[in-house]
Amino acid sequence: MSGPRPCPLAVPDLLKMKQRGEKIAMLTAYDYPTARQVDAAGADIVLVGDSLGMVVLGYESTLPVTMNDMVHHTKAVVRGVSHGLVVADMPYLSYHVSLRESVRNAGRIIQEAGAKGVKVEGGRKRTRVIRAILDAEIPVMGHVGLTPQSVHAFGGFKVQGKSATAALAILEDALSLEEAGVFSLVLEAIPAELAAMITERLTIPSIGIGAGPSCDGQVLVIHDLLGATEGPCPSFARRYAEVGATMREACRHFVQDVRGGQFPSDAESNHLKPEVLVEMRDRFEAVTKRQWRS
């Protein structure tokens, strides 16, 4: 990045980054210690994704995640971030029922949890709700392509936009969302060529995940990047570490040490001062004798 990085990063800074040709790095976080590391590493956007449901809460999809889950985890992330822009996902059903409820829910993410923006999944059919949220002065990030909240409609977590018709529909969705006023757009699991065409036509920055290298920014789920995800990672995720294996090894070591009497050591124990120990023994003996007599 050229020039000093604005601190903390604000929504309009992202547009300037696209105009300057600077790539945007976004990572997910769901708790305070992870948020601190992600922020210290220089992530521009810290996303409290509803992927929380799958990588932290152990659900099979993001659908069971609630507003209360999002508010709880976003609060923790906000406490850990001082440089990046914190954006939180609107979970399933929080923006589908009515405009009034949607604005109220987006407002909770800003007012109660302290995020600076919300992310909403879906294309053209979401422009009405997006406009209502924007009317409440809440910045909105869009998300098209493989939108995980549509997993049942898609019949699984599958790459989207593979036919010319499907690709065109995603392009039209992207342009409608830009027109509605989103400040950036996540492109998930779509062909790289399609992501490049969308990115070229948008004024706002695109942020890709499984969408090739031409997007204005890239995002990964932190557990995939760290190698902390159970089971196979998505093919587009790069594992930069094997934290899951490191954690398991450390825990195994602890269990072994406890069973073998090697933990805690003398240095890991607290001790009485010698004079307190002598006094305590005398008094303990006196108490024991009294009890013995009665």
Among residues 9, 25, 27, 49, the one that binds ligand KIV under rule CB under 6 A: 49
Q: Is 227 in the site for ligand KIV (CB under 6 A)?
A: no
Of 47-55, 103-111, 171-179, 257-265, the segment contacting ligand KIV by CB under 6 A is: 47-55
Q: Is 149 in the site for ligand KIV (CB under 6 A)?
A: no
Among residues 69, 89, 178, 216, the one that binds ligand KIV under rule CB under 6 A: 89
Instruction: Tell me the CA distances in angstroms from 18 to 72, 85, 183, 202, 217, one per residue in order.
Output: 32, 16, 11, 10, 9
Q: Is 50 in the site for ligand KIV (CB under 6 A)?
A: yes
Of 43-51, 197-205, 253-261, 277-285, the segment contacting ligand KIV by CB under 6 A is: 43-51
The CA-based dihedral angle spanning residues 76, 79, 85, 86, taken in that order and rounded to the nearest 10 degrees:
20
Positive or negative torsion for Cα 130, 131, 133, 138? positive
Would you call 39 exposed, middle or buried from its count of C-beta atoms within 10 A (0-12, 13-18, 19+)? buried
Task: Tell me how far apart the alpha carbons of residues 89 and 94 are, in angstroms, rounded to a whole number.
Answer: 10
Would you call 108 exposed, middle or buried from its count of C-beta atoms within 10 A (0-12, 13-18, 19+)? buried
Do residues 6 and 13 make contact, with C-beta atoms less than 8 angstroms apart?
Answer: yes
Q: State both tokens at 118.
A: 């919300």
Q: Is 69 in the site for ligand KIV (CB under 6 A)?
A: no
Q: Is 28 in the site for ligand KIV (CB under 6 A)?
A: yes
Task: Tell me how far apart the alpha carbons of residues 30 and 45 are, in angstroms, rounded to a whole number.
Answer: 13
Task: Tell me how far apart the alpha carbons of residues 125 and 190 are, in angstroms, rounded to a whole number.
Answer: 19
Paired strand residues for 117: 87
From the candidates 188, 230, 268, 285, give the one annotated as an active-site residue: 188
Coil, helix or strand at residue 32: helix
Task: Tell me how far apart the alpha carbons of residues 63 and 70 are, in angstroms, rounded to a whole number.
Answer: 12
249 is catalytic: no
Do residues 154 and 26 make contact, with C-beta atoms less than 8 angstroms apart?
Answer: no
Coil, helix or strand at residue 182: coil
Q: Is 51 in the site for ligand KIV (CB under 6 A)?
A: yes
Q: Is 221 in the site for ligand KIV (CB under 6 A)?
A: yes
Q: Is 184 in the site for ligand KIV (CB under 6 A)?
A: no
Q: State both tokens at 241.
A: 């570490």
Q: Is 44 in the site for ligand KIV (CB under 6 A)?
A: no
Query: Between 251 and 270, how does the x/- string for binding to ligand KIV read (CB under 6 A)?
Result: --------------------
Which one, 194 or 277, has the nearer CB to ligand KIV? 194
Which one, 116 or 143, has the nearer CB to ligand KIV? 143
Least Å distance, CB 233 to ligand KIV, is 12
Least Å distance, CB 193 to ligand KIV, is 20
Least Å distance, CB 72 to ligand KIV, is 16
Of 48-56, 68-76, 196-204, 251-259, the segment contacting ligand KIV by CB under 6 A is: 48-56
Which one, 125 or 283, has the nearer CB to ligand KIV? 125
Contacts to ligand KIV by CB under 6 A = 28, 47, 49-51, 89, 143, 186, 188, 209, 219, 221
Q: Hey, which residues are catalytic here?
A: 188
